[in-house]
Amino acid sequence: MVEANLEYDVVVVGAGPTGENAAARAVAAGLSAVVVEAELLGGECSFWACMPSKALLRSGQALAAARRVGGAREAVRPEQLNTRAVLERRDAFAEYWEDTAQVDWAQHAGVEVLRGRGRVVGERELSVSGAEGTTRLRARQAVVLCAGSVSSKPPIPGLDEVETWSSREGTSAQEVPRSLAVLGAGVVGVELAQAWARLGSAVTLIDTEARPLSGMEEFAGDLVAEGLRADGVTLHMEADLRRVSAGDAGLVLEFADGMTVRPQHLMVATGRRAATDDLGVDTVGLEAGKPLQVDDHGLVRGVPGNWLYAAGDVTDQTKLTHQGKYAARIVADVIAARANGTEVTDAPAWSHYTTTANQHAVPQVVFSDPEVARVGRTASQARQEGYRVRTVELDIQVAGAVLHADGYRGRAAIVVDEDRRVLLGAAFVGQDVAELVHAGTIAVTGEVPLDRLWHAVPVFPTISEVWLRLLESYGL
Ligand SMILES: Cc1cc2nc3c(=O)[nH]c(=O)nc-3n(C[C@H](O)[C@H](O)[C@H](O)COP(=O)(O)OP(=O)(O)OC[C@H]3O[C@@H](n4cnc5c(N)ncnc54)[C@H](O)[C@@H]3O)c2cc1C
Ligand SMILES: NC(=O)c1ccc[n+]([C@@H]2O[C@H](COP(=O)([O-])OP(=O)(O)OC[C@H]3O[C@@H](n4cnc5c(N)ncnc54)[C@H](O)[C@@H]3O)[C@@H](O)[C@H]2O)c1
Residue 428 pairs in a beta bridge with 373, 412
Q: What are the boundaries of each domain within the chain?
A: 6-47+94-150+273-357, 159-270, 370-474
pTM: 0.97
In the reported structure, the alpha carbon of residue 43 is separated from the centroid of ligand 1 by a whole-number distance in angstroms of: 5
6-47+94-150+273-357 and 159-270 share one CATH topology? yes
Residue nearest atom 49 of ligand 1, based on CA coordinates: 43
212 lines ligand 1 (CB under 6 A): no
189 lines ligand 2 (CB under 6 A): yes
CATH number of 370-474: 3.30.390.30, 3.40.50.150, 3.40.50.300, 3.40.640.10?
A: 3.30.390.30
206 lines ligand 2 (CB under 6 A): yes
Distance CA 269, CA 206 (A): 10
Ligand whose nearest atom lies closest to the CA of 93: 1
CATH superfamily of 6-47+94-150+273-357: FAD/NAD(P)-binding domain (3.50.50.60)
Distance CA 24, CA 16 (A): 12
8 A C-beta contact, residue 146 and residue 22: yes
CATH 3.40.605.10 correct for 159-270: no
Distance CA 311, CA 14 (A): 10
For residue 189, say whether it is annotated as part of any ligand binding site: yes
Q: What is the ipTM of this complex?
A: 0.98
336 lines ligand 1 (CB under 6 A): no
Kindly give the confidence (pLDDT) of every residue in the chain, 476 residues in length, as a single tens digit, with 9 standing for 90 and above.
445 689 999 999 999 999 999 999 999 999 999 999 999 999 999 999 999 999 999 999 999 999 999 999 999 987 789 999 999 999 999 999 999 999 999 999 999 999 999 999 999 999 999 998 999 999 999 999 999 999 999 999 999 999 999 999 999 999 999 999 999 999 999 999 999 999 999 999 999 999 999 999 999 999 999 999 999 999 999 999 999 999 988 999 999 999 999 999 999 999 999 999 999 999 999 999 999 999 999 999 999 999 999 999 999 999 999 999 999 999 999 999 999 999 998 999 999 999 999 999 999 999 999 999 999 999 999 999 999 999 999 999 999 999 999 999 999 999 999 999 999 999 999 999 999 999 999 999 999 999 999 999 999 999 999 999 999 999 99
Which ligand 2 atom minimizes the distance to the CA of 156?
31
Ligand whose nearest atom lies closest to the CA of 183: 2
Which ligand 1 atom minimizes the distance to the CA of 318?
19
Residue nearest atom 27 of ligand 1, based on CA coordinates: 148
Among residues 445, 463, 443, 444, the alpha carbon closest in space to that of 455 is found at 443
Q: Indicate the SS3 state at residue 130.
A: strand
Ligand whose nearest atom lies closest to the CA of 127: 1
Residue nearest atom 1 of ligand 2, based on CA coordinates: 366
For residue 187, say whether it is annotated as part of any ligand binding site: yes
296 lines ligand 2 (CB under 6 A): no
In the reported structure, the alpha carbon of residue 55 is separated from the centroid of ligand 1 by a whole-number distance in angstroms of: 17
Among residues 168, 194, 187, 192, the alpha carbon closest in space to that of 271 is found at 187
Of 270, 320, 364, 369, best ligand 2 pocket probe by most atoms within 8 Å of the beta carbon: 270
What are 305-310's contacts with CB under 8 Å, separation 24+?
A: 305/123, 306/142, 306/338, 307/123, 307/124, 307/139, 307/141, 307/142, 307/143, 308/120, 308/142, 308/143, 308/145, 308/284, 309/22, 309/142, 309/143, 309/144, 309/145, 309/334, 309/335, 310/144, 310/145, 310/146
